[in-house]
């Protein structure tokens, strides 16, 4: 059955054998299998009962990345990474189900944000999240409609956790020669002279104006992940490494060895959306 509705998630199965699962909570993609292999990291300690953002898969960050730097920003009262990933989204049905692809949609409006968080950002909006599965790609796109009486600013990001067999074998291509914001070193702007990014310590970087294509994640095997982004300006690279891994209750102490986050979004600046306007952006993940 190409699309199976379960109590807390939707399961997609492509005739090639590729599959994906999306939890209604946060509209969080938690699984993407190609060739019988799980390609997304989901912590064994992830909380899946809707009481906490899901640790793994592709959490949706909206309307604020991290927490607002400006205490007077309209988004200053929001929790880290905003409210989309900790709200229950509505199932909007299957939009495509044919030989080549299966595409499903989820919706979230301001009225569906948890009551205790509604006051944190009192803007009227409507989100539509679309997940499209083919034999070797997983595409996610987000439409943001401003239904408020005024313009508003927002960040957006797909916080993708890629599963890797061994972090010491990972190299990230396509970001060389760019300047990045180093959150580990408290935000200095650093020019990246490395040809490829390898991970042997905590890495938490924002690459503003990163290329839309050509980002490859090599994890030491025959295959690679290719990430292509559309209408998203920046790329974030994150691995918590040892100390931060130990500090997360929903993340195993050794799990930093099995994941790398490479995240497409617009987080270094805010997107300004006028009343009644719609913004859309997305990413395509492909196994090559
Ligand atoms: O995207 C990287 C990051 O902003 C890191 O700074 C780290 O906080 C990570 O997100 C996870 O955030 P979370 O709120 O899910 O624990």
Model confidence pLDDT, tens digit, residues 207-237: 999 999 999 999 999 999 999 999 999 999 9
By the 10 Å C-beta count (0-12 exposed, 13-18 middle, 19+ buried), 44 is classed as exposed
* Nearest CA owner, ligand 1 atom 4: 66
| pLDDT at residue 77 tops 90 | yes
Q: Among candidates 226, 245, 110, which has minimal Cα distance to 162?
A: 226
Chain center to CA of 85: 10
Residue with tokens 């409006």: 109
| pLDDT at residue 120 tops 90 | yes
Enumerate the β-bridge partners of residue 189. 181
Distance 153 CA to ligand 1 centre (A): 21
Query: What does the block give as tokens for 191?
Result: 């020019």
| pLDDT at residue 98 tops 90 | no
% of the chain at pLDDT higher than 70: 100
Q: Catalytic site residue 263? A: yes
By the 10 Å C-beta count (0-12 exposed, 13-18 middle, 19+ buried), 131 is classed as buried
Instruction: Quickly count: other Cβ atoms within 10 Å of residue 256's Cβ.
Output: 21
Predicted confidence (pLDDT) per residue in 18-44, tens digit: 999 999 999 999 999 999 999 999 999
Predicted confidence (pLDDT) per residue in 170-202, tens digit: 999 999 989 999 999 988 899 877 889 999 999
Enumerate the β-bridge partners of residue 285. 138, 227
Residue 99 confidence (pLDDT): 83
Predicted confidence (pLDDT) per residue in 228-267, tens digit: 999 999 999 999 999 999 999 999 999 999 999 999 999 9
| pLDDT at residue 96 tops 90 | no
Q: From the alpha carbon of 55, which atom of ligand 1 is closest?
A: 15
Q: What is the pTM of this model?
A: 0.98
CB neighbour list of residue 118: distance below 8 Å, 6 or more residues apart: 110
Residue 175 confidence (pLDDT): 95
Question: Residue 214 and residue 227: Cα distance in Å, rounded?
Answer: 7
Choose the residue to mutate in 81, 84, 234, 261 for probing ligand 1, maximizing ligand atoms within 8 Å of C-beta. 81
* Mean predicted confidence (pLDDT) in 76-93: 98
Q: What angle do CA 33, 210, 136 make, to 5 degrees?
A: 20
Question: Residue 152 and residue 63: Cα distance in Å, rounded?
Answer: 10
Instruction: Quickly count: other Cβ atoms within 10 Å of residue 286's Cβ.
Output: 16
Q: List, chain by chain if needed, residues with CB within 6 Å of any ligand 1 atom.
A: 53, 66, 80-81, 159, 183, 204, 236, 238, 261, 263
CB 165 within 8 A of CB 221: yes
Question: Residue 151 and residue 144: Cα distance in Å, rounded?
Answer: 12
Distance 238 CA to ligand 1 centre (A): 8
Residue 141 confidence (pLDDT): 98
Question: Residue 157 and residue 53: Cα distance in Å, rounded?
Answer: 14
CB neighbour list of residue 287: distance below 8 Å, 6 or more residues apart: 34, 35, 39, 136, 137, 223, 224, 225, 226
Distance 246 CA to ligand 1 centre (A): 14
Residue 179 confidence (pLDDT): 94
Residue 197 confidence (pLDDT): 96
| pLDDT at residue 277 tops 90 | yes
Q: Which residue has the higher pLDDT, 254 or 115?
A: 254
The mean of the pLDDT values for the chain is: 97
Residue 97 confidence (pLDDT): 85
- Set 14, 81, 159, 233: catalytic member: 159
Choose the residue to mutate in 55, 59, 204 for probing ligand 1, maximizing ligand atoms within 8 Å of C-beta. 204
Residue 195 confidence (pLDDT): 82
Distance 66 CA to ligand 1 centre (A): 7
């Amino acid at each position: 059955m190409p699309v199976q509705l379960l109590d807390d998630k939707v399961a997609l199965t492509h005739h090639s054998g590729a599959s994906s699962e999306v939890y209604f909570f946060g509209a969080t993609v938690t699984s993407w299998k190609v060739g019988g292999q799980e390609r997304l990291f989901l912590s064994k300690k992830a909380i899946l009962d809707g009481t906490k953002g899901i640790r793994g898969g592709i959490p949706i960050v909206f309307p604020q990345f991290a927490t607002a730097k400006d205490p007077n920003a309209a988004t200053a009262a929001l929790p880290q990474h905003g409210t989309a990933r900790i709200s229950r989204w509505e199932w909007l049905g299957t939009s495509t189900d044919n030989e080549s692809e299966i595409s499903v949609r989820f919706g979230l409006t301001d009225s569906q944000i948890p009551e205790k968080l509604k006051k944190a950002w009192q803007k009227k909006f409507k989100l539509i999240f679309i997940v499209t599965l083919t034999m070797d790609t997983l595409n996610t796109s987000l439409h943001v409609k401003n239904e408020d009486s005024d313009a508003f600013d927002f960040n957006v990001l797909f916080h993708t956790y890629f599963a890797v067999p061994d972090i010491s074998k990972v190299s990230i291509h396509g970001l060389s020669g760019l300047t990045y914001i180093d959150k580990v070193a408290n935000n200095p702007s650093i020019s990246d002279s490395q040809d490829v990014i390898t991970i042997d310590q905590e890495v938490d970087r924002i690459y503003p104006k990163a290329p839309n294509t050509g980002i490859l994640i090599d994890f030491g095997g025959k295959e690679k992940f290719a990430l292509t982004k559309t209408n998203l300006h920046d790329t974030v690279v994150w691995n918590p490494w040892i100390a931060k891994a130990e500090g997360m209750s929903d993340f195993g102490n050794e799990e930093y060895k099995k994941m790398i986050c490479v995240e497409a979004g617009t987080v270094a600046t805010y997107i300004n959306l006028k009343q009644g306007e719609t913004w859309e952006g997305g990413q395509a993940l492909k196994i090559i």
